[in-house]
A and B are shown apart, each in its own frame.
Chain A
């Protein structure tokens, strides 16, 4: 099979061209070593040719290790005999930058004896401004075919497809200069002169962009727009994905009702009911959230707003060692850490992304809500404070939420100041793309791919942990008494750890099982107290906790522990996949376990003083 590689700088329209040329028939693979996807698929017009959509890089001179890996991979594929030629796409409305990159690519192609073709994209923008690109002149100077196209309108794509023929591309290589011998400084000067000679002359920036920027970056209007957009983003995760999540839950229940009567009661049936359906349900509920959030972040990115939001958030987040681009992943983390960790892909500096990973699991995700509700209902009287202005319970809830966020920012400030400062950082030089209407099809596909990535990459481990916890809780007595099960025994063994917090083994067991998902804590604790369905109606469990005489200090310790500890197998699994390292989730798990325990202990002691 022969192959052609598409390469280009970010925002050159590479993805759109790739989608045009391959149609819907494409696959996504994780790029080895870095958190970017690489897509490939047969070309529609010539299925014998496989197109590879290479990750967008600004330059072949890499700054971060991540870019270095991408550039190295590019050079490696140039040496591959299956590779027929390279298509370099550039944005004709920013010709100098594009040409500089194209010449770097040309130099590599020359070095490896591979032919190259240039697709000068965004030609519709030039036409709209009555401007012209001298493709003949470019061809003469560079010695490779240059085709004017618009990936958006489809203009010139026919000609491009026809030109995409191995023999034809090879025949049209008459590179007049030996690029190998040209220095970088010289290359840049050449790009500059060539852009002057052949490029469009004049102002190509749409005036509306400046007006929109004046609005969106203004202190008041921009601030208001920012809060509105972030509110919508946040709401969308709940309101758009909630029905889908309910539907997932309902269809699983429906399937279970269909299947379970066919199995004779016993261990198999219990396994199918609790481990199989419960386990699948545990990770399928995340899928709608991931889909919706990928979609919304994609809309923000495509529309150009993401870059503006990063500008707005940059200064305040920098205090905590982060960058403006960390904001949206962290905000998503307030709903659920998993889509937040995925959204961190938009942070281009690997070092800042790594720091953002630290903050996300401390954002008060929605799975903590039932736990907080239970503990607060049990310990905080339902009184009003500040002369009836606020309810005491609501105030407590707000404080735990705030506490989690502050802890997250505290951790990043600390790590960024005392932690290892790697060579992985990038300067804050952010291209402000024009405001555009998003293209829906690629967005939908991207969201779909992301959801699939989660199910295939994290599903197995989440399922495995579910099964293990189920086995521990079921045997040796056939699920009749959780307290006497292996899990119960483990809880009793680790009881000494929790005693300094005034908690007994029941809480230990509930904590162990909440590793599946934090809200499981409520149901498990209920079961241990002999209350069925505590996850739906907390009142009996609240009464039970109150009458058990658990001190308030222990309640506070529990709240603190839940705010900090990274006890969520799904988050750990996806951190492992996204960071491409086992070390990071393991380190984070241990560090946050120790941190949460110490903080809980301090909280316990402080409350006891009163």
Chain B
């Protein structure tokens, strides 16, 4: 099922599917360079409360993304 990265729950894994049209081209390139490219596995490692940015793991790096970015990344939940 296609969801956005922001909807991923703590501990869940997913595969990046693509990006929303609304995401700026330069942001998309940057996200891919940081590791969020289609086909890559991403794990949501922590969801701080009160709408704070969530923590995602890609390869051996952890990034925090806020909803303005994470809702524009399309994913498919795996496992």
**Do A and B interact?**
yes
- Known contacts A217-B46, A219-B50; decide if A427 and B69 are in contact (CB<8 Å): yes
- Interface bits A206-217 vs B (CB < 8 Å: 1, else 0): 000110011001
User: Of A62, A94, A205, A429, which one neighbours B69 at CB under 8 angstroms?
Assistant: A429
How many A-B contacts if CB must be within 8 Å? Answer: 105
B7 within 8 A of A: no
- Interface bits B19-59 vs A (CB < 8 Å: 1, else 0): 00000101101111111010000000110111111010101
B62 within 8 A of A: yes
- Known contacts A97-B35, A219-B48, A428-B65; decide if A61 and B55 are in contact (CB<8 Å): no
- Interface bits A82-109 vs B (CB < 8 Å: 1, else 0): 0000000000011011001100000000
Provide the residues of chain B in CB contact with A204, threshold 8 Å: 60
In the assembled complex, the Cα of A209 lies from the Cα of B45 at a distance in Å of 11
Provide the residues of chain B in CB contact with A184, threshold 8 Å: 29
Residue on A nearest B39 in the bound complex, by CB:
A192
User: Of B26, B45, B48, B53, which one neighbours A210 at CB under 8 angstroms?
Assistant: B45
User: Of B31, B46, B63, which one neighbours A431 at CB under 8 angstroms?
Assistant: B63
Provide the residues of chain A in CB contact with B64, threshold 8 Å: 307, 310-311, 428-430, 432
CB neighbors of B among A553-602 (8 A): none
Provide the residues of chain A in CB contact with B26, threshold 8 Å: 61-63
**Max chain B Cβ within 10 angstroms of own Cβ: one of A58, A217, A218, A307:** A217
CB neighbors of B among A153-170 (8 A): none
Give chain B's interface secondary structure class.
mixed
- Known contacts A61-B26, A311-B53, A314-B52; decide if A94 and B65 are in contact (CB<8 Å): no
Provide the residues of chain B in CB contact with A312, threshold 8 Å: 48, 52
Taking a contact as CB atoms under 8 Å apart, the answer to whether A432 and B60 are in contact is no
Provide the residues of chain B in CB contact with A188, threshold 8 Å: 32-33, 37
A318 within 8 A of B: yes
A81 within 8 A of B: no
A59 within 8 A of B: yes
- Chain A's nearest CB lies how many Å from the CB of B34? 7
Provide the residues of chain B in CB contact with A93, threshold 8 Å: 60
**What residues of chain B have their CB less than 8 Å away from a CB belonging to chain A?**
24, 26-27, 29-35, 37, 45-46, 48-53, 55, 57, 59-66, 68-69
- Ordered by A's residue number, 27 sampled pairs between the chains whose C-beta atoms are within 8 Å are A58-B33, A58-B34, A61-B29, A63-B30, A93-B60, A94-B59, A94-B60, A94-B61, A97-B35, A188-B32, A205-B57, A209-B62, A214-B46, A217-B46, A311-B53, A314-B53, A315-B52, A315-B66, A427-B31, A427-B65, A428-B64, A428-B65, A429-B63, A429-B69, A431-B62, A432-B61, A432-B64
Please name 15 further chain A to chain B contacts, defined as beta carbons within 8 Å, in addition to the given A62-B26, A427-B68, sorted by A numbering. Answer: A94-B59, A97-B34, A97-B35, A213-B55, A213-B62, A219-B48, A311-B53, A312-B48, A315-B66, A324-B53, A427-B31, A428-B53, A428-B69, A430-B65, A432-B63
